[in-house]
């Protein structure tokens, strides 16, 4: 059986380094917000070519704290509307609600699965104050178009990068305190990652491209005022121990998880390249009329957290693959607006989102999937 995702195999090469880190942390006697967290925050900010990284408890908290930070800064207020893709993992939407804001759903494009920028403007009202772009399955959303709309309507841009660690942005950001972006190649030369523009939320859930051995998350931003507030909000709203400026929460990146992430981060680009290599093979070699392949422009803006195909008779294909020793997963079976948890939206209609949820199937993809396994998967798919 080829498993969908072999996490044990992914982490095995790091075992010795993990054990050394464990010894170090144990011996330090300092287990919360110590040197490993500080080091990781520096390393991940540098990796993203951004000014600030704030380690937090998980990806959901990273999103929520960005919104709560903007509320503290009075750039948002409770009840403001936030544009968000209808086609996303529900966490994106729940985070908006958790911060006391109102999600406004927008349909995706069928071939990239990401939000359709052309449909954003018609959803903007006087109460719209932000866009939450989601880089679904590892592919950056169309940030050029999204940033242009945001600038025109004076909206904040927040990115859910929980599936897109290391994706390279080839769009122009306004980077504060740096030279202007008159040179078209500026951003490309700089190769910033998601978050170097506005603010981005990352998750280090074990199955993500940069996965810890437990929960973890981070906020990436160039906005120093926002960074200062979320730095405090994650730790009970306190910057100086026992002095609390804000009604914050407890959402700190765990010291041991940070230590493990420091081991894995230097290998992320190579692991993502391996994922892209597999994706290139799937795209070139899967030839079956019953299978619709995802759209990708071949740039490094995609880190293939998932390789998601579509097919009309999904249950049949999934069963066939299972019988032939290939495990697949559905991301995701029920759209957010059809979930019981969001029952007030159950009667809304988002046809493209619904088609996607009815037809998607994720094939195995990971840095430890072998060439032989990829060859076998392609052969079995082509025989279907």
Ligand X SMILES: *Cc1c(COP(=O)(O)O)cnc(C)c1O
Binding residues for ligand X (CB under 6 A): 58-60, 88-89, 91-92, 134, 160, 162-163, 203, 205, 215, 217
Q: Can you tell me the distance from the alpha carbon of 25 to that of 19, in angstroms, rounded to the nearest whole number?
A: 10
Q: What angle do CA 83, 87, 88 make, to 5 degrees?
A: 85
Nearer to ligand X, 128 or 194 (CB): 194
Closest approach of ligand X to the CB of residue 169, in Å: 17
Closest approach of ligand X to the CB of residue 117, in Å: 18
Q: What angle do CA 114, 303, 220 make, to 5 degrees?
A: 80
Nearer to ligand X, 53 or 321 (CB): 53
- Which residues make Cβ contacts (< 8 Å) with residue 328, sequence separation at least 6? 4, 318, 321, 322, 361, 362, 363, 364
For every residue of 28-48, DSSP letters joined together read: HT--BS-HHHHHHHHHHHHHH
Closest approach of ligand X to the CB of residue 132, in Å: 10
Closest approach of ligand X to the CB of residue 241, in Å: 27
Under DSSP, is residue 129 helix (H, G, I), strand (E, B) or coil? strand
Q: Say how many CA atoms lie within 13 Å of 58 toward its Cβ.
A: 13
Nearer to ligand X, 63 or 175 (CB): 63
Contact 62, 41 (CB under 8 A): no
Nearer to ligand X, 214 or 325 (CB): 214
Q: Can you tell me the distance from the alpha carbon of 84 to that of 98, in angstroms, rounded to the nearest whole number?
A: 14
Spell 143-181 as b/e; 16+ CB within 10 A means b.
beebbebbeeeebbbbbbbbbbbbbbbbbbbebeeeeee
262 Rama sector, left if φ>0, alpha if ψ -120 to 50, beta otherwise: alpha
Nearer to ligand X, 155 or 253 (CB): 253
- CB count, 10 Å around CB of 240? 8
Nearer to ligand X, 85 or 378 (CB): 85
Closest approach of ligand X to the CB of residue 206, in Å: 10
**H or E segment at 83?**
strand 81-85
Nearer to ligand X, 192 or 217 (CB): 217
Closest approach of ligand X to the CB of residue 26, in Å: 25
- CB count, 10 Å around CB of 188? 15
* Burial category of 137 from C-beta neighbours within 10 Å (exposed 0-12, middle 13-18, buried 19 and up): buried
Nearer to ligand X, 63 or 374 (CB): 63
Closest approach of ligand X to the CB of residue 330, in Å: 14
Quick check: bond before 39 cis, omega within 30? no
Nearer to ligand X, 133 or 279 (CB): 133
Closest approach of ligand X to the CB of residue 197, in Å: 18
Closest approach of ligand X to the CB of residue 24, in Å: 25
Residue nearest to ligand X (CB): 59
């Amino acid at each position: 059986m080829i498993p969908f995702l072999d996490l044990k195999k992914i982490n095995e090469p790091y075992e010795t380094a993990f054990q050394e880190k464990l010894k170090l942390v144990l011996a330090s006697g300092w287990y919360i917000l110590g040197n490993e967290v500080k080091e990781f925050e520096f390393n991940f900010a540098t990796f993203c070519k951004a000014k600030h990284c704030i380690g937090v408890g998980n990806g959901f908290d990273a999103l929520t704290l960005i919104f709560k930070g903007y509320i503290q800064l009075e750039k948002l207020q409770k009840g403001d509307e936030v544009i968000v893709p209808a086609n996303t993992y529900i966490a994106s939407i729940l985070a908006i609600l958790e911060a006391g804001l109102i999600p406004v759903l927008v349909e995706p494009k069928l071939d990239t699965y990401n939000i359709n920028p052309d449909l954003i403007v018609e959803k903007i009202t006087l109460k719209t104050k932000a866009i939450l772009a989601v880089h679904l399955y590892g592919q950056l959303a169309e940030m050029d178009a999204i940033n242009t709309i945001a600038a025109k309507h004076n909206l904040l841009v927040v990115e859910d990068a929980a599936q897109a660690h290391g994706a390279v942005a080839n769009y122009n950001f306004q980077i504060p305190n740096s030279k202007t972006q008159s040179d078209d190649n500026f951003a490309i030369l700089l190769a910033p990652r998601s978050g170097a523009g506005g603010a981005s939320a990352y998750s280090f859930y074990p199955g993500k491209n940069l996965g810890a051995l437990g929960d973890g998350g981070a906020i990436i931003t160039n906005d120093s005022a926002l960074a200062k507030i979320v730095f405090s909000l994650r730790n009970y709203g306190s910057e100086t121990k026992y002095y609390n400026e804000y009604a914050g929460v407890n959402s700190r990146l765990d010291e041991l998880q940070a230590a493990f992430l420091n081991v894995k981060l230097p290998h992320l680009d190579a692991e993502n390249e391996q994922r892209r290599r597999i994706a290139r093979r799937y795209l070139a070699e899967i030839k079956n009329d019953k299978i619709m392949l995802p759209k990708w422009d071949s740039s490094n803006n995609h880190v293939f957290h998932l390789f998601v195909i579509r097919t009309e008779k999904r249950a049949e294909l999934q069963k066939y693959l299972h019988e032939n020793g290939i495990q697949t997963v559905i991301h995701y079976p029920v759209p957010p607006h059809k979930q019981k948890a969001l029952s007030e939206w159950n009667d809304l209609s988002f046809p493209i989102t619904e088609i996607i949820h009815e037809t998607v199937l994720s094939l195995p993809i990971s840095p430890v999937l072998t060439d032989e396994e990829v060859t076998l998967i392609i052969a079995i798919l082509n025989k279907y």
